[in-house]
Structure 1
């Protein structure tokens, strides 16, 4: 049983906090904790404004969110780690090689779909990334919530 889920991207200001907030909402009736971190986090920063705008336009909130750096301790505390791109799996394993069996793509159930970084790509990229994240989160929530 998963108790702590971690979502990882690069800066921890766009994709991973979006997925964190969505997954937390989807699993709110469970005892599963959801958090996020970045491989090269913009430590202490709030969510990227365009990502936050798309999230809030769809009824979610990112109030109080602050980016944090992924560490071996955070990996060790997590039961399941969801990443955005295949290369992120290797980056997580560089930090904690023993985590191999618990690191998966967020888009695993969408034919191992990667979710590209919308950072500095314009509003359309954020809307597209949000839709892909929403689809992937829904699939994970169905599997984790039962």
Structure 2
């Protein structure tokens, strides 16, 4: 159904790569979709934040290969489904590529439609909370993928 899924946050080192690798893990080989992530203000070329990476690893997911990439209108146009962490991210992407508006949704769309806060530079409990929200969001999308 969706061949190319893009997950977006700001820096592309915490939330969106966590969701990307978790979704890949949940779908496994059966998914068949190409899943990637990008940031509205990406720390391009940087690896995943160490706390985010550790949490993934503790849940049996390897995100070591991740390198942040900058979001652009071409990425938005070529994606079939785009999942954002916050409502302001959705608005920014729609401004960047209005033609993509029908395929941009919140990761939390099927739950409460809430923003998933940025844990960057906070203590581990904030990352754990965000990981839980991302996991719920990813799991809620599985039936539609």
Say whether the fold is shared (TM-score over 0.5): yes
Match status 1:27 vs 2:24: no
Unaligned stretches of 5+ residues in structure 1: none
Q: Distance in 2 between matches of 1:55 and 1:40?
A: 23
Match status 1:7 vs 2:44: no
Residues 76-113 of structure 1 show CA distances to partners (whole Å, capped at 9, x for unaligned) of: 11000000000001111122111110000000011202
Secondary structure at the counterpart of residue 11 of structure 1? coil
Q: Distance in 2 between matches of 1:84 and 1:119?
A: 13
Equivalent pair of 2:16/2:38 in contact (CA under 8 Å):
yes
Q: CA RMSD in A?
A: 0.8
How far is 1:27 from its partner?
Answer: 1.6
Q: Distance in 2 between matches of 1:91 and 1:27?
A: 28
Give the alignment of 1:1-146 within 5 angstroms: 1-28=1-28, 29-144=30-145
| TM score, norm. by length of structure 1 | 0.96
Shift >6 Å, 4+ stretches? none
* Alignment: residue pair count: 144
| TM score, norm. by length of structure 2 | 0.96
Q: Distance in 1 between matches of 2:65 and 2:33?
A: 20
